[in-house]
Amino acid sequence: MATYTPPLRDMQFIMHELLDVGSALSELPPHADLDADTINAVLEEGGKFASEVLQPLNAVGDREGCKLDKTTHEVTPPTGFKDAYAKYVEGGWPALSCDPAFGGQGLPHAVNQCFYEMLNSANQAWTMYPGLTHGAYECLHAHGTDEQKATYLPKLTSGEWTGTMCLTEPHCGTDLGMLRTKAEPQADGSYRITGGKIFISSGEHDLAANIIHLVLARLPDAPAGSKGISLFVVPKFMVNADGSLGARNGIFCSGLEHKMGIHGNATCQMTLDGAVGTLVGQPHKGLAAMFVMMNAARLGVGMQSLGLTEVAYQNAVAYAKDRRQMRSLSGPKHPDQPADTIIVHPDVRRMLLTARAYAEGGRALCMHTALLIDQELHHPDEDVRKAAADEVALLTPIIKAFITDNGWKATSECLQVYGGHGYIAEWGMEQYVRDSRINMIYEGTNTIQSLDLLGRKVLGDNGKKLKAFGRRIAEFVEEQGVNEDMQEFVNPLADLGDKVTKLTTELGMKGFGNADEVGAAAVDYLRVCGHLVFAYFFARMARVALDKQGSGDPFYTAKLATARFYFAKLLPETAMLIRSARSGVKPLMEMDEALF
């Protein structure tokens, strides 16, 4: 019974009024002639595909799941998924932001990011099939040989073939340095790869004619640990010299994982039995090459939870406006009816506004980051490209962890709005909760993201990247600090900025003495930084809304109300988090493990 309406108005607000993407893109040669009308038209059509084609299949995919024929090793996705993928390819959507040299449309990542938010709202499990394909495209585009690019990129761009990344193994988890899959060099320059991989999303299906697997494995002379990992491209079907498909390769699905959510996606155990592959990049440098795909996936996972937050919010609002139960504590609001709608109750509004604020803050952050990626790739000034790359590196773990934590919270709150009906499958809300939970786990757990942020991205360069973002905040605070109507936004933003600076220094000093201090504080620290970033964007959005509220458009009134809710009800979480981060490692480690 769930429905979905693409949030085009808010996307347009963030793109054109908050970020002014037109001016930013005009400085990038490949996008200099792109105008707002074209962007809006593309997203409007993308929204129709998401809401009309994908959304009706979301519950179907959850109920049916995927089916494995253990004799043939073939996997059949849920009813309608293959037809939807054919429409996706027919519409040219896989090529949206791909390189025109390989058949792509060359549109900015900022546009593609909005499109993928809508796809994830409509059907996260389905969206993972093309989403991983785009990551494989990015990896090969960055590190593939000319021959690999010519062989694979046009088909990945068109969507005729899909892609995966085959990383972890049963004994590894995130510690990829422990992987055992072997790659034996052959006389013709190829490799025979043998081993087993698990948790391979979209690993086997019949949506496309071929599946291109990017596989991490070890060469015979590989050093131990993560420095001995190489990357290989391993197609499901071998590709002939003329581009046609040849024999079936020795990589196949040996089992499907039975999961809490995303049932419509084929999460496979993959067996490689002498599969033929070719080396991507340099020997023993595979992890660095794969990080192109992994970082794209981390941003994509943030988008998954952003999409689920939005669609859960929309449905919870509709329910709260319709469901009648009890009376308002301050007196009947609908005296002609037997009860008031539940949206009159303060705590129902708290739950709804929590989801709304996390969706709008997440959308602003993700669009900003996508625009940075466009600048990193295409800006003519090397200094601008470097600054954009540094900021993307800083924000990536925040997007992955903070937005997915928020998505879990938001979908749960939206389910709560329904009361007992939220727990019933027919309403669709419990699926959003189950689907959102994986997003905190895969592509590096949120604890891993927190360690990456504090250990590598902040302390690893003595706070250089964080200070650069801090200067962005300080400039805005200085500019707006003289405006009375902005005090409620810039004062708490400035205060939190100062506290993050002090906390970072304190944790850095403690970490020098005991590295476990970093591990003890990292999760709290990332969440504090996430709020700092959200507070910055909400303050900026409030500035635009204040300037436009005289227009009479209720959109700006709602934007201001959401910003005020965020600063009043969500940002104060940082006080508890900072106190927790400062409590140190002792409360966590002083108990002997035998006592657990």
Catalytic site positions: 443
CB-based contacts of 571: which residues, under 8 Å, 6+ apart? 492, 496, 531, 534, 535
d(CA 511, CA 514): 5
Q: List Cβ<8 Å contacts ≥24 apart for 453-457.
A: 453/394, 453/397, 453/398, 453/401, 453/522, 453/525, 453/526, 453/529, 454/507, 454/518, 454/521, 454/522, 454/525, 454/526, 455/511, 455/518, 455/522, 457/393, 457/394, 457/397
Q: Can you spell out the DSSP letters for 507-546?
A: HHHHHHH-THHHHHHHHHHHHHHHHHHHHHHHHHHHHHHH
Q: Which amino acid is at 268?
A: C
Q: In 3D, which of 106, 128, 511 has the Cα closest to residue 300?
A: 128
In terms of Cα–Cα distance, which of 456, 500, 142 is closest to 294?
A: 142
3-state secondary structure 400-427: HHHHHHHHHHHHHHHHHHCHHHHHCHHH
> How open is the CA angle 464-469-473, to the nearest 5 degrees?
140
CB atoms within 10 A of CB 577: 21
Q: Which residues contact 324 (CB under 8 A, 6 or more apart)?
A: 334, 337, 338, 339, 340, 341, 342
**Residue type at 161 in one-letter notation:** W
Give the C-alpha separation, 547 to 542, whole Å. 9
Rounded CA-CA distance 4/48 in Å is 10
Strands 182-185, 191-201: pairing kind: antiparallel
Count helices and strands (H / E) in the chain. Answer: 18, 11
Element (H, E) at 318: helix 286-322
> Two tokens at 421?
């009906």
Q: H-helix or E-strand containing 169?
A: none
Closest CA to 500 of 548, 463, 447: 463
Whole-number Å distance between alpha carbons of 218 and 285: 10
User: What's the CA gap between 333 and 320, in Å, rounded?
Assistant: 14
Residue from 203, 191, 188, 215 nearest 276 by CA: 191
Helix axes 109-143, 346-378, angle to 10 degrees: 50
Q: What is the DSSP string of 331-385?
A: S-S-TTSSS-BGGGSHHHHHHHHHHHHHHHHHHHHHHHHHHHHHHHHH-S-HHHH
The candidate with the shortest Cα–Cα distance to 214, out of 282, 285, 132, 284, is 132
d(CA 115, CA 111): 6
Q: Are 191 and 279 in contact (CB under 8 A)?
A: yes
Question: 229 with 174: CB under 8 angstroms?
Answer: no
